[in-house]
Amino acid sequence: MSAKVDRATQRDAMWDATERFDEFSAYDLSAAMHVQVEHAYRALKIWMQWGFVELVRVQRGKNFYRRNPLRAGQRPPRTDEDGRRLTETTPQERMWRVMRRGDSFTPLDLVMLASTPDGPVSEEEAIEFCRMLVLADYLRTERKAQAGNPPVYRLIQDTGPRPPRKRRVHGVYDENRDAFTYLAGGARHDR
C-alpha cells in the first residue's frame, strides 16, 4: 500500500475520532490517534479546505475546531497530502498494476495484492480478468492449473498504465472473411 493511501486511511481514522469531541485541536487528535501533530494539522487543513470542520476559537495559540454541522453525517473525501481527491480505482486497474510489475502471478496473488480496504478483488474477478487477457494475448500461461494449484501467468504485452477492457462492439461481421468489415463509429477494416 502506498504512503498516500496510508495517510488517507490515517485521516479517515482521525475523522472518526473527532466524534468524541465537541471541540478539538491538532494536539487532541494527535493524542487520541497516536500520530504526529503535523499529520493532525495536515488533516485539519484538508478538512477546512473541503468545508468539513470550522475554526471555533483560538486559545493560548492553539486552534480549536468542530465538525461543520452543515455536513452532519457526511465524510470528507479521501485525499492526498495536498488535499486533492484520490481517484477510486477499479479492481481491473489495480490487478493490471500488479501484473505490470513483471513477475509471474496467480489469480490468488492478484486477490491479495490488488485488494484494498475500499475495494476488495474477488477470486472470481481475478480469474475472469486473467481469462480475458489470455484470450486477447496479453498474458501467457506459464503453468496450467493442476490438482489444487492455481494457474500461473505472466504479462507478455504491456501496452501502458490503463488495463485492456472488454467492450461490446456493434458492427458488420463477414463470416466468409472471419473479420469485422465495419465497426460502429466509422472504423472500417482494410479489405
User: Which H, E and C letters describe 59-70, residue by residue?
Assistant: ECCEEEEEECHH
pLDDT value of residue 122: 95
Q: Write the pLDDT tens digit of every residue in 47-81.
A: 999 999 999 999 999 999 999 999 888 888 888 88
Question: How far separated are the first and last CA of the chain, in Å rounded?
Answer: 49
pLDDT value of residue 25: 96
Instruction: Please state the pTM of the whole predicted model.
Output: 0.51
pLDDT value of residue 144: 95
How many Å apart are CA 149 and CA 26, to the nearest integer? Answer: 51
pLDDT value of residue 60: 94
For residues 39-62, one letter each, b for 16 or more C-beta atoms within 10 angstroms of the residue's C-beta and e for the rest, the string is bbbbbbebbbebebbeeeeeeeee
* Nearest Cα residue to 105 out of 140, 74, 75, 80: 140
* Nearest Cα residue to 137 out of 106, 158, 108: 158
How many Å apart are CA 105 and CA 127, to the nearest integer? Answer: 12
The pLDDT tens digits along the chain (191 residues) read: 344 446 887 888 899 899 999 999 999 999 999 999 999 999 999 999 999 999 999 999 999 999 999 988 888 888 888 888 777 678 998 899 899 988 899 999 999 999 877 688 999 999 999 999 999 999 999 999 999 899 999 999 998 888 998 878 788 877 888 877 777 766 555 54
pLDDT value of residue 52: 94
* Structural domains of the chain sorted by starting position, each given as residue range(s) with its CATH number in brackets: 3-71 (1.10.10.10), 91-155 (1.10.10.10)
The C-alpha cell 465538525 sits at 67
β-bridge partners, 59:
62
